[in-house]
Amino acid sequence: MDIKLANWMPVVESEDYVLTTKDKDEIFKRGAVVSVKHPKIFEPVLTVIQKIEGEELIFRIPDDFLRSNVFKGDTVSCHVMQGEYEYIVDGKITRFDITYPRLVHLLIEKTRRVKNNRKNKRYLVNFQSFFTPYGVDKKIYAIIKNVSLSGICAVFREEVEVESLVNVFVSVSIEKSMALEFKAKVNRVIEREFYNEYGLEIVDIDDINKDMLDRLIYRLECDESEFVSKCLK
């Protein structure tokens, strides 16, 4: 599977938040998974927090940073889930440690907080799929960018109205290549430069496909736990 495990950056408006020392210790504790978004990189990448020192957040260098030529002085946004809230940290890279375990130092410039209204944890993936809107005699090619037990985020160029129902056919790999099928409702749409981003809620799924989805989520959760363990060695 081509998988990146994290949560998509929140799309709702957030409030500015002043971090206390207690907040820093709880939110940015060692081993916490953080999703990092850099302007050069299409989607957030996952890494693990090593520590926080004063106003500097320190985490492992994601391989995508090396492939995308990320440098000192670049600005990034970090997304951390903690309890009933999601925290989005905007900051500037101050330095890199290139000896093991290879770290990035990020100066925190602004912190925002949003209420976590998601029913289930989401995982970033790259799955090919076809959407068939009700009443439309054509298939829309889409890429699933994240998945949870209750919904998905997908990107494609065509336009589908909010509240529309669509049949979704997803090509995934669990133990072997399988097709996951369900009915979903479009809850939101965001217009991007080259495509539209859609948030969809699963509204109808049979027992066979529900079992497949459960196994997929379990696999993603195990992969994330293994990823964190490796990053803390």
User: 57 with 35: CB under 8 angstroms?
Assistant: no
Residues 165-194 have pLDDT tens digits of 999 999 886 656 678 999 999 999 988 878
> In the structure, what pLDDT confidence band is assigned to residue 213 with cuts at 50, 70 and 90?
very high
**19 and 112 both lie in a single domain:** yes
Give me the residues paired with residue 177 across strands.
173
**104 and 143 both lie in a single domain:** no
User: 166 with 198: CB under 8 angstroms?
Assistant: no
Measured CA distances, 132 to 162, 187, 200 (Å): 15, 16, 13
In a domain, 96, yes or no: yes
Q: What token pair was written down for 38?
A: 């850099």
In a domain, 1, yes or no: no
> In the structure, what pLDDT confidence band is assigned to residue 222 with cuts at 50, 70 and 90?
confident
Higher per-residue confidence, 198 vs 173: 198
What is the total count of domains within the chain? 2
Measured CA distances, 200 to 81, 144, 162, 192 (Å): 21, 10, 9, 17
Boundary-marking domain end, from 116, 136, 158: 116
In a domain, 91, yes or no: yes
182: nearest Cα among 129, 146, 136, 220? 129
In a domain, 63, yes or no: yes
Measured CA distances, 21 to 26, 91, 116 (Å): 9, 18, 22
Higher per-residue confidence, 195 vs 176: 195
What domain range is 163 assigned to? 123-225
* pTM recorded for the entire structure: 0.70
Residues 106-137 have pLDDT tens digits of 999 999 988 776 677 888 788 899 999 988 88
Residues 44-56 have pLDDT tens digits of 888 889 999 999 9
CATH number of the CATH domain containing 160: 2.40.10.220
CA angle 148, 150, 151 (to 5 degrees): 70
Q: Specify the pLDDT at position 210.
A: 94
Higher per-residue confidence, 61 vs 11: 61
**136 and 55 both lie in a single domain:** no
In a domain, 110, yes or no: yes
**27 and 97 both lie in a single domain:** yes
Q: Specify the pLDDT at position 231.
A: 76
Q: What token pair was written down for 63?
A: 């391989």
> In the structure, what pLDDT confidence band is assigned to residue 80 with cuts at 50, 70 and 90?
confident
**38 and 82 both lie in a single domain:** yes
CATH number of the CATH domain containing 52: 2.30.110.10
**93 and 170 both lie in a single domain:** no
